[in-house]
Copies of this chain bind each other. A is one copy, B any other.
Amino acid sequence: MIEAGVFGATGYTGVELIRLLARHEQVRLSLATSRSDADRNLAEVFPGAPEVDLIDPEQAPLEKLDVVFLCLPHGQSAKVAAAALQAGARVIDLSADFRLTDPDAYQRWYGLPHPAPELLDEAVYGLTEAAREQLVGTRLVANPGCYPTSVLLALYPMLLESVVSGQVIVDAKSGVSGAGRTPKLATNFVEIAEDLRPYSIGRAHRHLPEMEATLAGWSDWQPKLIFSPHLVPIARGLLSTLYVPLPSGWAESQIHDLFLETYADEPFIKVLPEGEVASMRQVNHSNRCAIGLTVADSTLIITSAIDNLQKGAAGQALQNMNVVFGLEETAGLL
């Protein structure tokens, strides 16, 4: 039995993860932490969550754990990661702390010096489908952001073939749970319920460098994405609509075949039939990614849908844990 700890248990990602762990037969949730709600029960502070005692993170017996999941804000996560590794646990970090390998880029985008730069080299960027081999046995996984997961999976097959060039535009739409559980005016019910709102569009969102660095590692293409996220009045779900120059000489059916082949054995990637589009409902409450391919003139439109809390966060974290520990990759997941 793998002994697991979840740090930052009371947010949307933490609770989703704890729910998934409860169904996983080879993992036991040994501890769950909350700084603000220590000594309370998770079900009290999050209606409908499993009944789990919350402890102060400072009190957590790291040495008893086989794996630590960090659902903490960036900046805080790296410190706990260092301590957990020190204590012998493996770490799956759902924050941004180990997603960028360049500490300067981290400081530029996140506004603080990296808290544990010495660990950056060993962290594996855990887009599972693209990183399976490096993941096996690794000590430290940087779990990808929700937007990057949907975008990278949508481009991966084409980059393996080095057929992406030119300008790629990503118009992304996210449910509000992606914005976290800390109350703020921008996510107050009434503000959201009557709105659909772009934010950090163009080249301003923190998920941009993470996407571009990963893409650059897959081929010679030096991507300069245009990336426009939108906040949508729905609790969960994430849809990215990508506009990619159609590789010259490629027909729609060839692109489709490439995706089908690349993802043929992937349990969580669903390449839709030609001409169909991905939508949130196809994947919500599952760890799947649905990908639709549509060609219009010389533009390839890729629609890529995930559940931001599952494949975009807690689900992929568990998938990564399965790979790291050599378990069945789908264990505990739908």
| A residues apposed to B, CB below 8 Å | 12, 23, 47-48, 167, 169, 171, 173, 176-177, 181, 183-185, 187-199, 201-204, 224, 226, 228, 230, 232-237, 239, 241, 243, 277-286, 292, 294-297, 299, 301, 303, 334
Contacts and interface: CB of A to CB of B under 8 A. Distances in A.
Given A181-B188, A241-B230, A279 B193 contact: no
Given A183-B183, A183-B185, A233-B233, A202 B280 contact: no
A280 B237 contact: no
A199 B47 CA distance: 14
A185 B36 CA distance: 14
Contacts of A283: 48
A189 B233 CA distance: 8
B234 A202 contact: no
Given A48-B281, A189-B189, A237 B203 contact: no
A242 B184 CA distance: 29
Given A48-B283, A230-B173, A188 B190 contact: no
A47 B239 CA distance: 15
Contacts of A224: 297
Contacts of A167: 299
A303 B181 contact: no
Nearest to A174: B196
Nearest to A186: B183
A279 B198 contact: yes
A295 B202 CA distance: 7
Given A202-B295, A286-B48, A281 B197 contact: yes
Q: Which of A183, A239, A286 has the most CB of B within 10 A?
A: A183
A47 B189 contact: no
A57 to B, nearest CB: 20
B232 A280 contact: no
Nearest to A185: B183
Contacts of A297: 202-203, 224, 226
B169 A243 contact: yes
